[in-house]
Amino acid sequence: MSAFGSVFMPEMAISWFDGSQWSDAEVVSSNSLQLHPGAHVLHYSSTCFEGLKAFRHADGSVKIFRMDKNIRRLAQSSELLALPAFDEAMLESMIRDIVTRFKDEVPAPPGSMYIRPTHIGTEPAVGKAAVPSLTSCLYVLLSPVGDYFTGGDKALRLLLDDEGMRCSPHMGVVKSGGNYASALQPIMKARAECQADQVLFCPGGDVQETGAANFLLIDGNEIITKALDSSFLHGVTRDSILTLARDMGMDVQERELTVEELLERSARPGCEAALSGTAAVLTSVGTLIHKGQEYSVGNGGVGETTLRLRRALNDIQWGKAPDTHGWLTSL
């Protein structure tokens, strides 16, 4: 089984901005992209991307999940990185066209077609460290993916880092490659020193997010997660899960969560914690590591409410439950 996101469709959709207008979108080979070595993105990280999925339903149709929200977030990331603005309708058309082109390759559940729209600054100018790129490229890659939990569903181990932060506070809301790069060293160190799967960044004791996912604490009928601000990514899966939790009558609290409260609540019977993201939807957290001490979350295993919420979202994505929120786009 290939690693998630490491297999690509042979073609991608692409458009170029020359400083005054966008080119007509084309379908080109996805095995190369010609850039000048001085391209702005290679030196000053003018890059942002999205991750969304297309799903095959039992009747053979293919639906894209929450495409509108992902496109809006990419437009916002582009604006915050001072990349050229693009027409959101153009990107929607690019996504629709390339997914339609490879519609027969969309895996059946529990697999899906992962969609990666990417926007990069292309102007060749190594002297523009404090000036945005005037030209850019927008492209859409496709990657067929299988079941994220093929190796079994296991609860993760998280190291709580209450000193460092994932990225600069004003950049957290941007889905940019630089944010992921800045989290790599702390994650690698946590894996080597205490066998943690991820780092939960809690600067000043404020529970935020891990290197690649939002964090949710589930205590009985309560779900607690940090309220939206510019310091962390506004996850589409996070939003979807919280919406479904409210539908189920759960008490969703978007507010400050301290490390102290997290550790106190995690010791309660039946308490659960989870990470939300496009790849896995929801993954259970079983162990928290803080200042050399290990703390079990509830029974330390995979949480029942976590599974119920994940199943509820999967059922909508796979066409097994009604799409009452209008999240699916038909091709």
CB-CB contact of 75 with 175 (8 Å): no
Task: Look at strands 281-290 and 156-161 and give their pairing.
Answer: parallel
In tens digits, the chain (331 residues) has pLDDT values of 578 889 999 999 999 999 999 999 999 999 999 999 999 999 999 999 999 999 999 999 999 999 999 999 999 999 999 999 999 999 999 999 999 999 999 999 999 999 999 999 999 999 999 999 999 999 999 999 998 876 678 999 999 999 888 888 888 999 999 999 999 999 999 999 999 999 999 999 999 999 999 999 999 999 999 999 999 999 999 999 999 999 999 999 999 999 999 999 999 999 999 999 998 899 999 999 999 999 999 999 999 999 999 999 999 999 999 999 999 999 9
Provide the H-helix boundaries in the chain.
40-44, 67-80, 88-101, 177-194, 236-247, 259-266, 304-317
Q: Take residue 194 and report the two structure tokens written for it.
A: 């205490």
Show the domains of the chain with their CATH numbers. Answer: 11-145 (3.30.470.10), 156-317 (3.20.10.10)
C-alpha neighbours within 13 Å on the C-beta side of residue 285: 34
Task: State the CB neighbour count (10 A cutoff) for residue 236.
Answer: 24
19 contact partners, CB below 8 Å, separation of at least 6: 84, 134, 135
Please tell me the chain's helix, strand, coil percentages from 3-state DSSP, rounded to the nearest 5.
30, 30, 40
258 DSSP 8-state letter: B
